[in-house]
Structure 1
Amino acid sequence: MSFSNKVIWITGASSGIGKSLAIELSNQNAKLILSSRKMAALELVKKACKNSSNVKVISLDLEDFTNLKPKVDEAISAFGTIDILVNNGGISQRSFVKDTKIAVDKRLMDINYLGTVALTKEVLPHFIKNKKGHFVVTTSIVGKIGTPLRSSYAASKHALHGFFDSLRAEHFKDNIAVTLVCPGFVNTNVSKNALTGDGTPQEKMDVATQNGMLPERFAKFMAKAIKNKKEEVYIAGAKEKLGVYVKRFFPKFLSIMIRKLSVT
């Protein structure tokens, strides 16, 4: 599959993985719709793309998940269709279960899970009508493995796997593909923006995140996974990938390993 002239809608496109993926896909001649809450940042991403005339920006707040249909209509009208929806928008967490207010749990689920699901459900009829489409979802390695300080974040990402695995099975005959992309540590602002127990941003970068894969490199792997319509892919360091397989075959051993992780 070539990305040339494919219409690809990316949420969470103002920074990090979304921004790098947008630039990578623009270099492969895709037509892009870029969304997030930060319009000024989106305009900068648009300017960084290869052909800005093939880039449309649309403001989008996933937390406002009951009002997404007008955004979908606007996205479809931008180029007349949508070929691929990249559900990349979301927010992370850094707090112990005992210190996390239930309002924070709710906000993580509203943005990461319900926002993504609501947007997907609004786009789905368009894909069914066209008898083709591709949902790409940025989940996480913690969508497979729960780790300390990320309880609600992990829960929201686990939930995405359940939903999109079901959607894939239901709409296989409609020629609709689903790719679940599980990042490990990527050097973005995700940890700076992560919510603490009282709902305020952490405002500092984790060491592991700082030492993570560069988003530009990550985007190349992600684009390849999308092109090949992989069902699930782990784009991460060796230790993170190993954890997924240890969880599958030796879950008790992984539990012991996770207990020893630094949580400071």
Structure 2
Amino acid sequence: MDKYFNNKIIWITGASSGIGEALAWELSRRGAKLILSSRRIAELERVKNNCAHPDNVHILPLDLTDSANLEAKVPLAIALFGHIDIMVHNGGISQRALVAETDIAVHREVMELNYFSYITLTKALLPHFIARGSGYFVVTSSVMGKIGTPMRAAYAAAKHALHGYFDCLRAEVGQYGIKVTILTPGYIHTPIATISGDGSFTSNKSEHINAGFSADKAALQIIKAIQNEAYEPYIGKFIGEERLALFVKRFLPGLFTRLISRFGTPK
């Protein structure tokens, strides 16, 4: 068992595949008690049954696009084990299309799922954390929350918004013993759904995603980041273009802008 995670109650959204699934397995192995949420109940059952301690795993079906009913899910989640120690926001969709070819409805859909669902659950759970004098929000953003590249405007906008919101939240709630970590993964090989400019979904992944960091390795880095209570850790390959892009954007923004404008339409 892991001293940090043993008996911690952790709620994970987007837990039916990818990073959420890998986190569930690793956290269960370390003795955590889990609440797993997504829309796909059968997949959640599969993830639960493959956990090291399935008796300490509860399933709470949750549709992050159903914003009107998200707040009501929070007391149900708390009731499963009596309290929550860590909230891992992980659900979401990707997006690939040029700005000129992306419907406004797509921007709203991506923002609703990748941003508004996170802050709705956060605001509903916050009183519970304040009352307990402890709590931890772990937020899956992206390298695209710090930079912008062609064909990712809706996705990058939602991820940038997460950084602004949770940076402000961190500044407000530290006095209550509440922590915030914003994860910035690079390319991770996961089956994340991708929406096109017209609102249709595509199963075609970019070459970067297909060659991306494994979800299992990403989960191990995330666990270390939580243990270290890191503010904004990069998750991914130690040597890779995503990490380099973050460095250049921060320290040489003019160079980054010139380079990215020549990048063209990524494959």
- Scaled by the length of structure 1, the TM-score of the pair is 0.97
For the Cα contact (< 8 Å) 1:12–1:90, is it kept in 2? yes
For the Cα contact (< 8 Å) 1:2–1:227, is it kept in 2? yes
Specify the alignment match of 1:210 in structure 2.
Answer: 210
1:35-77 CA deviation, whole Å, 9 max, x = no partner?
Answer: 0111110000001100101000111111112322221111101
- Within a 5 Å distance, the mapping from 1:238-253 to structure 2 comes to 238=239, 239-253=241-255
| TM superposition shift of 1:258 | 1.4
Partner Cα distance (2:155, 2:135) in 1:
27
| TM superposition shift of 1:106 | 0.2
10, 13, 22: which one aligns with 1:8 = 10
Query: Number of aligned pairs?
Result: 262
| TM superposition shift of 1:3 | 0.1
Partner Cα distance (1:17, 1:68) in 2:
22
Task: Say yes or no: does 1:225 pair with 2:225.
Answer: yes
Partner Cα distance (2:158, 2:25) in 1:
27
Task: Say yes or no: does 1:123 pair with 2:125.
Answer: yes
Partner Cα distance (1:150, 1:189) in 2:
17
Moved >4 Å (runs of 4+): none
| TM superposition shift of 1:236 | 2.3
Task: Say yes or no: does 1:186 pair with 2:188.
Answer: yes
| TM superposition shift of 1:198 | 0.8
- Structure 2 gap segments, 5+ residues each: none
| TM superposition shift of 1:228 | 1.3
- Within a 5 Å distance, the mapping from 1:164-175 to structure 2 comes to 164-175=166-177
Partner Cα distance (2:222, 2:166) in 1:
17
Specify the alignment match of 2:137 in structure 1.
Answer: 135
| TM superposition shift of 1:145 | 0.4
For the Cα contact (< 8 Å) 1:8–1:32, is it kept in 2? yes
Specify the alignment match of 2:60 in structure 1.
Answer: 58
1:136 is matched by which residue type in structure 2? V
Q: Residue 180 of structure 2 aligns to a residue in which SS?
A: strand
- Within a 5 Å distance, the mapping from 1:87-102 to structure 2 comes to 87-102=89-104
For the Cα contact (< 8 Å) 1:66–1:118, is it kept in 2? no
The alignment-based identity, stated in percent, is 49
Specify the alignment match of 2:266 in structure 1.
Answer: 263
| TM superposition shift of 1:259 | 2.0
Partner Cα distance (1:81, 1:134) in 2:
12
Specify the alignment match of 1:198 in structure 2.
Answer: 198
Task: Say yes or no: does 1:236 pair with 2:239.
Answer: no
Partner Cα distance (1:219, 1:97) in 2:
32
C-alpha root-mean-square deviation of aligned residues, in Å? 1.0
| TM superposition shift of 1:210 | 0.8
2:47 is matched by which residue type in structure 1? V
Q: Residue 73 of structure 2 aligns to a residue in which SS?
A: helix
- Structure 1 gap segments, 5+ residues each: none
Partner Cα distance (2:8, 2:42) in 1:
25
| TM superposition shift of 1:20 | 0.3
| TM superposition shift of 1:220 | 0.4
1:157 is matched by which residue type in structure 2? K
